[in-house]
Chains A and B, each alone.
Chain A
Amino acid sequence: MNRNATHHIPDEIIEAYASGLLPHAFSVVVAAHVSLCDKCRATAEACEAVGGVALDHIDGEAPAQDLRARTLSMLDDLPDADQTHARLPRNLPITAPQPARRGIFPGAVAAELGDDGPRWKSLGAGIRQQILTSGPDGTVRLLYIPAGKAVPDHGHGGLEMTLVLQGSFSDHTGHFAKGDVQVVEDDLEHTPIADDGPACICLAATDAPLRFNAMIPRLLQRVFRI
């Protein structure tokens, strides 16, 4: 696997991810890129070292008196595998462990897709998308762009991060291959075009609704939630 992406995520966004402050939609892209990029993994782990030092520094608070005995007594019952959460106490809102990577999709993306995705919706001209999650803090989607096709020209009002999972695309800012992330802010107008070869599949997070300027009328924008 190519672990030498040439377009990376800015350090301050990785730090926002590592500390926990980055909204969910962008966190999916960071986790997916870090799965493919050792340079950014090292940055994320270095940031977590800051978290570790902060944890060392914090003034402790006594846990429940019997917690130590209860915890040690549970060691015998634990499975060796990653099933800890399945046996956990009382009322925690438990989430199952994140699934493993599936094909071109890192675990963080597979988790959003569920078992049987992607379920593409056509945007016309052979271009497809599936919205993974959408909320007030941002939207993350998969895009499928056949070779030679352009993602319709759009401007945006905020931050956009696009990770290539298959194929590649180019625009006036550069060439983006598998594992690369394009980070675009504010009002940059750009027209990514999928390169020759297999269709380009991208994971794209935005914190403001994309406004397509051409090709797709406003009504359709609402239908497709672009």
Chain B
Amino acid sequence: MTSDPTATEFSLPTQWLIAVRNRRDREAFGHLFDYFAPRLTAMMLRSGMSRAIADDVVQDVLLTAWTKAAQFDPARAQASTWIYRIARNRQIDILRRERRPVPDALDTGEEHTEQDAHQALALDQESAQLRAALAALSPDQRDVIEKAYLGDLTHTEIRQRTGLPLGTIKSRIRLGLERLRHELKEIR
């Protein structure tokens, strides 16, 4: 992280995941475990899994984060978002007993430039606003979102809309994708 002047401004979990990605940093992985394991355990228990299965899934998710860390792109996702995706995929695989269809992964650029860091920081700020928007909701509204995103899939409305303002974060992620496409073109 010392090579990147802005990195210390990221949220802590994102800093830890970058350290795991760049340096296979075990201490940082320990911090990720301490932060995410209780949250992931709660997420799995909510969907009706036994404690034993929940423990296995939590371990699986965090080990997957370790092995796939090279794919983590802070210009498109915060650590919580990225780990949420891994966890939700596994949870759905298990609840539905079939593999969840996922989009093809994108190749990630080799170099992490300063411009990437600015983009990533801007995304961090958008995420903070999203967090504030969620905190400002009534308990009932928040409950709807938590049920949809963390719950047991019994609520099967095909059209799901939680009503959070996603426009700016969407444009921010789009910029991250465009930048990545541009980098990949230059590599080839």
Contacts and interface: CB of A to CB of B under 8 A. Distances in A.
Interface residues of B, number: 86
Which of A58, A79, A88, A101 has the largest count of B CB atoms less than 10 A from its CB?
A58
B160 to A, nearest CB: 4
A27 interface: yes
Contacts of A95: 93, 98-99
A91 B50 CA distance: 12
A152 interface: no
B87 interface: yes
A67 B51 CA distance: 12
A12 interface: yes
A64 B51 contact: yes
Contacts of A55: 36, 39-40, 43, 80, 83-84, 87, 149-150
B158 A78 contact: no
Nearest to A158: B158
Interface in B87-129: 87-88, 91-94, 96-104, 126-127
A216 interface: no
A10 B159 CA distance: 9
A82 B166 contact: no
B127 A49 contact: yes
Interface residues of A, number: 81
Contacts, number: 253
A52 B127 contact: yes
Nearest to A140: B101
A53 B159 contact: no
Given A21-B160, A54-B150, A62-B38, A46 B169 contact: yes
Given A60-B39, A98-B101, A13 B159 contact: yes
B166 A50 contact: yes
Contact of B59 (A43, A44, A70, A79): A70
16 contacts: A11-B166, A20-B149, A49-B173, A50-B134, A51-B84, A52-B83, A54-B150, A55-B83, A55-B150, A56-B80, A64-B51, A70-B59, A74-B59, A78-B63, A84-B60, A106-B104
Interface of B: 26, 29-30, 33-34, 36-43, 45, 51-60, 62-64, 66-68, 76-85, 87-88, 91-94, 96-104, 126-127, 130-131, 134-135, 142, 145-146, 148-150, 153, 155-162, 164, 166, 169-171, 173-174, 177-178, 181
